[in-house]
């Protein structure tokens, strides 16, 4: 009954968005940190990638923990999208029919592009999985199962992949900035005394996520990270 109430009320849907957004923030922080291990070289990076597949061994089997985490993250993003779409529809239905002029002066750029940024991120996630997990997008030297370093470096040698990646992580940074600020408000951290501090924290998170994810493809493109000599 409590779950049904949560999914039907506006406040409940906002809480779902906040909690699932927090799950994704945690995932993104660890994912970004893992990506930066590419600077330690192929052997270290591949060892890290193998650790992710073997987490929990010997108690858990190959990919078991990683699969559970993938399912949890997938459920979180689907619930996040559902709540966002549901709240958007509710807002449209509640708006008077003659109210067409939006108050753009009061809305910042991140807020305006929240919906479209979310769409870009969703499309990019599918592309990212097809590129580096499923091996469906061609890379120089071919996709090599078990050689995450080769696949990452090879994939980012294509400037179009890098540009798409940069656009996506820029959208992610804006999304995180506005989403984190909204999350603080939804979870009750909306005291005017800390308003500027929390908004600053959200801005810092968005910038750090953009820089942390953008630096790897740029490093590959400009030759700072290279494939090992054969």
Q: Which of 166, 162, 203 is nearest to 181 (CA)?
A: 203
CA dist 148 and 156 (Å) reads 12
User: Each residue of 184-217: pLDDT tens digit?
Assistant: 877 777 667 777 888 899 999 999 999 999 999 9
| pTM (2 d.p.) | 0.85
179 touches 209 (CB < 8 A): no
For the chain, what is the radius of gyration of the CA atoms?
20
Residue 206: what are its φ and ψ, rounded to 5°? Answer: -60, -45
| Sequence-ordered list of residues with C-beta below 8 angstroms from that of 193, at least 6 positions apart, any chain | none
Are 137 and 199 in contact, with CB atoms under 8 Å apart? no
The tens digit of pLDDT for each residue in 134-180 reads 889 888 889 998 899 999 999 999 999 999 999 999 999 988 888 88
Q: Residue 103: is its pLDDT beyond 60?
A: no
pLDDT, tens digit (0-9, with 9 covering 90-100), for 17-74: 888 989 999 999 999 999 999 999 999 999 999 999 999 888 888 889 999 999 999 9
Distance CA(167)–CA(151), nearest Å, equals 20
Residue pair 13/7 in contact by the 8 Å Cβ criterion? yes
Contact by Cβ (8 Å): 172, 164: no
Residue 230 has pLDDT above 60, yes or no: no
Please report the domains of the chain, with CATH numbers, ordered by start residue: 2-94+107-221 (1.20.1300.10)
Q: Which residues contact 88 (CB under 8 A, 6 or more apart)?
A: 115
Whether the CB-CB separation of 132 and 183 falls below 8 Å is answered with no
> pLDDT higher for 230 or 69?
69
Give the containing element (helix H, strand E) for 117.
helix 114-132
- CA-to-CA distance for 125 and 117, rounded, in angstroms? 12
**Which are the contacts of 48, defined by CB distance < 8 A and separation ≥ 6?**
34, 37
**SS3 of residue 222 by DSSP:** coil
3 state SS of 200: helix
Distance CA(113)–CA(102), nearest Å, equals: 14
């Amino acid at each position: 009954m409590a779950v049904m109430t949560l999914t039907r009320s506006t406040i409940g849907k906002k809480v779902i968005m906040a909690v699932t957004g927090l799950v994704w923030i945690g995932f993104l922080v660890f994912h970004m940190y893992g990506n930066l291990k590419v600077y330690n070289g192929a052997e270290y990076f591949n060892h890290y990638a193998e650790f992710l597949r073997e987490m929990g061994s010997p108690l858990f089997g190959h990919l078991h923990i990683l699969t559970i985490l993938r399912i949890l993250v997938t459920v979180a993003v689907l619930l996040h999208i559902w709540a966002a779409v549901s709240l958007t529809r509710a807002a449209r239905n509640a708006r008077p029919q003659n109210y067409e002029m939006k108050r753009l002066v009061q809305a910042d750029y991140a807020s305006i592009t929240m919906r479209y940024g979310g769409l870009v991120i969703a499309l990019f996630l599918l592309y990212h999985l097809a590129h580096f997990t499923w091996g469906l997008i061609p890379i120089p030297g071919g996709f090599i199962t078990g050689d995450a370093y080769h696949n990452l470096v090879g994939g980012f040698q294509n400037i179009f992949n890098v540009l798409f990646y940069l656009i996506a992580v820029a959208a992610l940074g804006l999304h995180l900035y506005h989403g984190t600020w909204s999350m603080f408000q939804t979870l009750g951290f909306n005291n005017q005394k800390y308003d500027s501090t929390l908004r600053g924290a959200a801005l810092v998170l968005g910038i750090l996520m953009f820089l942390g994810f953008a630096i790897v493809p740029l490093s590959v493109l400009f030759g700072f990270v290279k494939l090992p000599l054969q």
